[in-house]
Structure 1
Amino acid sequence: MSAVALVPVALLGVLVGFAVPPLAGRFATRPAHFPAPSRRGRWVWLSPAVTGVVFVGLAVALGDDPALPVFLAVASVGLVLAVVDLACLRLPDPLVLAAALLALGGLSGAALLAGVPGRLPGALAGAAVAGGTHVLLALLPGSRLGFGDVKLVAVLGLPLGWLGRDALLAGLLLPHLLHGGVVLGLLAARRVRRDTLLPLGPALLAGSWLAVLLA
C-alpha cells in the first residue's frame, strides 16, 4: 500500500481513537478505577495515537487483502476492550460479541465478494483452535485465565486463521510472551505481588496485532 493511501487510514484511526475512552467508560463496571472525564487528558491524546499506529500497521501488513476493513473494525472494538480490561479487569460480553459478529460477518462477506471462499474455513478453524487451546489452559489447576479471555481469543482466532497457520501460531504465542514479560518487569520493580491479578486482554490484542504484522 502506498504512503498516500495510508494517510486516510491513519486519519480514520485517529478519529476512532477519540471515541475509545468515552466508549470504554460506558462499559467500566468500577467507575472509581476509570479516569474521571476531568482526568482523561492522557487517554484523549494517547488513544488516537495508538489507534492510528494500529490502523497503519494493519494496512501495511495486509495491503490489498479484501479483509482489511474487517481487521480495522475488530481492532477498533479491541482497543475499547483493552482500555476496559486495564481499568477494571473485565472483558464485557457485548463488546466481545460485537467483535465476533464483525469478524465472522465481515470475513464471510470478504470471502464471497473477493471470490476466495476457501479462506473462510481457515478462519473458522483458527477460532476453534484458539478457543479450544485456551479452554484447556483455563481448566488447568491454578490457572488465572478467565473465560472472558478465552472468548476473546476465540474471536481473534477468526482473523488470524484467515491469514493462515503461521499467523495463528504467532497469535497464540506472542500474547503470553508479552504478558509474561510485563509481569516479570512489574515483579522486578515491586509494583505487583505474585497474587496480583493483571489484565490479559491487552496482551492478547497486542500479540494478535503483532502476529498480523509478522504474517
Structure 2
Amino acid sequence: MAPPLVIIAAAFGAATAAFLPRLAYRLAVGFADPTRLSCANCARPFPQGFPGWVRAGAACSCSGGYASALLGGGTVAAVLAIAVGPVPELPFYLLAAVPGLLLAMIDRRCLRLPDPLVGTLAVVVAVPLAILRPERIGLALVAAVAVLTTYTLLAFLGGLGLGDVKLAAVLALILGFAGWPAVVVGVLAAHLINGPIAVFRLLTGRRGPIAFGPALLAGALAGLALQQP
C-alpha cells in the first residue's frame, strides 16, 4: 500500500471527524425528543440554521476534548485505505465512515441509532457498490436478509434494539459486496467485541443496556480489513 494514499485517507478521516462532535451532541436525544437547542453545560443556545450544526471542534466552546474524534476518524480511514487499496470502491467506503462514526458517537451517548443516518450509510456506499460490483448484488442482498432475519429474532428475545437490527442489515449488505468471508468476520467480530464488555459490566455489577452500534461498525471494519481479494 502506497503511504501517500494512507496519509491522504487519514487526513480526510480526521478532517471530516472534526465536524462530528456538535452533530453527535445535538442528535443524541431520546426517540421522541427534539434535537438539542443549547449546551447543557453553559446553557448557551446554538446558532440557528447551518452555523448551529456545522462546527469544527468540540460541541460547544465551553467543552473540550475532541481529539478522540480526530483520532477515530483518521484511524478508520487509514485502515480502510490499507485494507481496500487504490480501487474505485475506496472513496465510497471513506464517505461511509463519516455517518458510521456519527452513529457510533450517538449510540454511545443515548443508546439510539437514528434511522435517517442508517439510511444515509446505506445509500452512500451500497448504491455505488451495486453499480461497481453488479455481480455481487445477489450475495449482498442474501447477506442482508439473513442478518436482518437473525437479528430481528434476537430483538424479539430482548437482546437487541431495532436500531441495531437495521444497522446490522445495512452493514451486512455493504459487506456482501466484499464476499462471504467479510460478512462472517463482520458479524462475529461485533459479538466478540461486545461480549467481553458485557461480561465485565456484569462482574462489576453494572446492569443495563449496552450500545451495540459501535461494535457493529467496528466489526464491519474488521470484515473489510480481512476481506478476500
What is the TM-score with the length of structure 2 in the denominator? 0.82
Structure 2, gaps ≥5 residues long? 31-35, 42-57
Higher helix share: 1
Superposition deviation, residue 170 in structure 1: 1.1
Aligned position for 1:49: 71
Superposition deviation, residue 202 in structure 1: 0.8
Contact 2:139 2:176 in 1 (8 A): yes
Q: Assess, with a 3 A threshold, how the Cα gap between structure 1 residues 165 and 4 changes in structure 2: closer, same or farther.
A: same
Alignment RMSD, CA only?
Answer: 2.0
In the alignment, does 2:157 pair up with 1:135? no
Contact 1:103 1:155 in 2 (8 A): no
Q: Assess, with a 3 A threshold, how the Cα gap between structure 1 residues 39 and 84 changes in structure 2: closer, same or farther.
A: farther
Superposition deviation, residue 10 in structure 1: 0.9
Q: Assess, with a 3 A threshold, how the Cα gap between structure 1 residues 93 and 24 changes in structure 2: closer, same or farther.
A: same
Contact 2:24 2:102 in 1 (8 A): yes
Contact 2:106 2:112 in 1 (8 A): yes
Aligned position for 2:3: 3
In the alignment, does 2:147 pair up with 1:151? no
Aligned position for 1:125: 142
Superposition deviation, residue 50 in structure 1: 0.8
What is the DSSP-based 3-state SS (H/G/I as helix, E as strand, rest coil) of the residue aligned with 1:51?
helix
In the alignment, does 2:29 pair up with 1:29? yes
Contact 1:71 1:159 in 2 (8 A): no
Aligned equivalents of 1:178, 1:139: Cα separation in 2: 22
In the alignment, does 2:219 pair up with 1:207? yes
Aligned equivalents of 2:73, 2:143: Cα separation in 1: 25
Aligned position for 1:75: 97
Superposition deviation, residue 38 in structure 1: 4.5
Of residues 184, 201, 211, the one that matches 1:169 is 184
Superposition deviation, residue 36 in structure 1: 6.2
Superposition deviation, residue 86 in structure 1: 0.6
Superposition deviation, residue 119 in structure 1: 2.0
Superposition deviation, residue 70 in structure 1: 1.9
Q: Taking every aligned residue pair, what percent have the same amino acid on both sides?
A: 39
Superposition deviation, residue 144 in structure 1: 2.7
Give a deviation string over 1:78-127, Cα, whole Å, max 9, x none.
1100110111111011111111111222212323xxxxx21222222222
What is the DSSP-based 3-state SS (H/G/I as helix, E as strand, rest coil) of the residue aligned with 2:177?
helix
Superposition deviation, residue 20 in structure 1: 1.4
Aligned equivalents of 1:68, 1:126: Cα separation in 2: 21
Contact 2:113 2:163 in 1 (8 A): yes
Aligned equivalents of 2:164, 2:171: Cα separation in 1: 10
Q: Assess, with a 3 A threshold, how the Cα gap between structure 1 residues 36 and 60 changes in structure 2: closer, same or farther.
A: closer
Give a deviation string over 1:39-92, Cα, whole Å, max 9, x none.
6422x1110111101001011111133221222122211110011011111101
What is the DSSP-based 3-state SS (H/G/I as helix, E as strand, rest coil) of the residue aligned with 1:145?
coil
Contact 2:144 2:172 in 1 (8 A): yes
Superposition deviation, residue 13 in structure 1: 0.7
Superposition deviation, residue 187 in structure 1: 2.9
What is the DSSP-based 3-state SS (H/G/I as helix, E as strand, rest coil) of the residue aligned with 1:123?
helix
Contact 2:17 2:70 in 1 (8 A): yes
